[in-house]
Chain A
Amino acid sequence: MLGNWHQLWVIISNPDNVPVVALIVLVPFFTWYALRQAKANDRLIAKLEADPELARTHHRKTQPYHPSWQKEVHVWPYLLRIELLAAIIVTVVLLVWALTINAPLEQPANAAITMNPAKAPWYFLGLQEMLEYFDPWIAGVLMPTFIVLGLMAIPFIDANPLGNGYYTYKQRRFAIWTFLAGFEGIWLVLTLIGTFIRGPGFMWFWPTETWDPDRVEFIATRNLDQMFGVNGKWLVHILPASQKPYADLWAKGLFGIIPVGLYFLVAGWLFYKIITSTPFSRKIFRRMSLLQVVVMEILLIVMLSMPLTFFMRNLFRIKYVWETPWFNL
């Protein structure tokens, strides 16, 4: 356990990493804060479901209530004073932060001297980490597009009308688990890996391990077709003469369809099982149109491919599962 704690401190105290350290505190706090209110509402919902008479007359909130209170309050001053207070607090936080920690300024830009590690700003470290597992066009272009479009699609594929405008867990289990998995389980975890674990050469250094800029890593990765010994020596007999020299490419390209297709089918079936696993979720599922189901399945399958690839690479050292002359997956 005699690690290099100084190294860890250097990373934590790097001014540009302050937001990441702040997120380690803020995100769990707000997750807890949201779920705590969700639990409170869930208890109320359970009570009202059990007692229809009460449900008719209850004000249906967990906030303090009195029948004589007005439902609404004036913006001036009840909201504006909070906004003013928030602005003052943020200003004070900023001033203290700005007076105690200086914005980093490195040496002048120099194309001849490579920064090591050359890292993206913290909010893009998730993407940079993906770059380790996918080819650039997937990690840098396809995945961000999927993330943005996927986020925008959420309101249109979520067919559950419950939980609109109040915290709840029991009425939106699947939605909440999916979002937490995506935002915290994938995006933030990748950001943390990119911040705390990736050292020189963007190599994997466990926390407290010294960042050695001279470290050389030989990670023997292999492709799935190599593990299965696919080399086209059978295919060469079937192919037309003009294609015989490319038997290897053909074999690999065709072979790759199997694992990718299999993954889509298995993952799709798995998600189907999950979204139809309870009577309530089946009720929601029946509300969905075919297009909604298809879009949701595709997004979920793409999302799951990220952690899957992460484990395949780091545990089994598999690089590509599908090789073609134009792209590799």
Chain B
Amino acid sequence: MAEENHEQGKVGLAEEADGRVQQFKGWLQEKFQEQVEELKRPEDTQLYKAFFRVGRIDEPRNRALHTLNNFFLHIHPTKVNRDAVRYSYTWGMGGISFYLFLVLTFTGVLLMFYYHPTTVQAYRDILDLQNSVPFGLQLRNIHRWAAHLMIIAVWLHMFRVFMTGSYKRPREFNWCVGVLLLVLTMLLSFTGYLLPDDQLGFWAVTVGTNMARATPLIGHEGPFGPQLGMTAYNDVRFGLLGGTIVGSNALLRAYIWHCIALPMMISVLFGVHFWRVRKDGGISGPSPVMLESEMHE
């Protein structure tokens, strides 16, 4: 119509513009409606599918794929024993331990930004962190209490696994991995204890490493140590401290064990632990009770 008018030279520029605006308005309204409808179903968007690799959860298959196709969730099975999701069986202690490990890694990395592992400077860094860094004190608090909490969680996790007999076949190996994780957790906490370079850490580590002197064969005060040529300058304690006293070298060694070596070791064992949970048939129970009369002699 506008075209026609134009050709006839009867319509002004204003009218033509008005027509085009009306047309655009209609188109925009349509598109807008479309967009709103689309946003009401976020699972169907390209972004969502790109993120999760599957579309909307409308059938069991997609629900399963959500877990299966997700890097962070793929350590889970797609389905679990319906009674295992009750708090009563697992107490959630294994998961809480791992979550605390993540919290510790995160806060630990933040703490590393403010810390030099050298004597004198280390202690000043802590003071600086507590007094000048925004939320520095809280950051340190969270790190320390999370460490304590993780040890409690790991102990209780072990306690639960024992009480449910979950170490029995076929999970024997994973129990052993768990014991190593327990040891590593306590060593991680212990190596961190020295890092503020205060009296508390210094004397705790002094007491701790003095025991290493007495290691049989490889400690210079241990049984058969001197006979094997052990002195204060070449025994296992010297190796742990990088010297004969808890000094600068000891601080550096504790720091590297705490921030690099032990976290790497524990991460690998975490992987093995989780992988074996799945391979050994998932979570152990609650499984149907077995009767003595059904036991094979």
Residues of A within 8 A of B (CB): 16, 18-19, 22-23, 26-27, 30, 33-34, 37-38, 41, 44-45, 48-49, 52, 55, 59-61, 63, 69-76, 78-80, 82-83, 86-87, 90-91, 93-95, 97-99, 101-111, 113-115, 118-124, 127-128, 131, 135-137, 139-142, 148, 151-152, 154-156, 158, 161-168, 171-172, 175-176, 179, 183, 280, 283, 286-287, 326-327
Contact = CB atoms under 8 A, between A and B. Distances in A.
B208 A30 contact: no
Contacts of B245: 111
Interface stretch (B15-23, B28-36, B133-141): B133-141
Nearest to A45: B289
A162 B296 CA distance: 10
25 contacts: A19-B152, A38-B163, A48-B289, A60-B288, A75-B73, A75-B80, A90-B149, A99-B141, A111-B246, A114-B203, A119-B203, A119-B204, A120-B208, A124-B186, A124-B208, A137-B216, A141-B215, A151-B158, A155-B176, A158-B167, A161-B169, A161-B295, A163-B168, A164-B285, A166-B286
A90 B285 CA distance: 24
A82 B92 contact: yes
A301 B53 CA distance: 57
A237 B219 CA distance: 37
A141 B96 CA distance: 30
Q: Is the interface of B mostly helix, strand, loop or mixed?
A: helix
B37 to A, nearest CB: 25
Interface stretch (B2-10, B39-47, B58-66, B263-271): B58-66
Given A33-B88, A63-B86, A161-B295, A148 B183 contact: yes
Contact-residue bracket for chain B: 35 or more
Closest 8 CB pairs of A and B: A140-B211, A165-B285, A60-B288, A136-B214, A155-B172, A165-B287, A98-B141, A109-B202
B257 interface: no
Contact of B166 (A97, A104, A165, A176): A165
Contacts of A98: 138, 141-142, 145
Contacts of A109: 119, 123, 197-199, 201-202, 246
B229 interface: no
Contact of B81 (A23, A72, A141): A72
A9 to B, nearest CB: 20
Contacts of B203: 114-115, 118-119
Contacts of A152: 175-176, 179
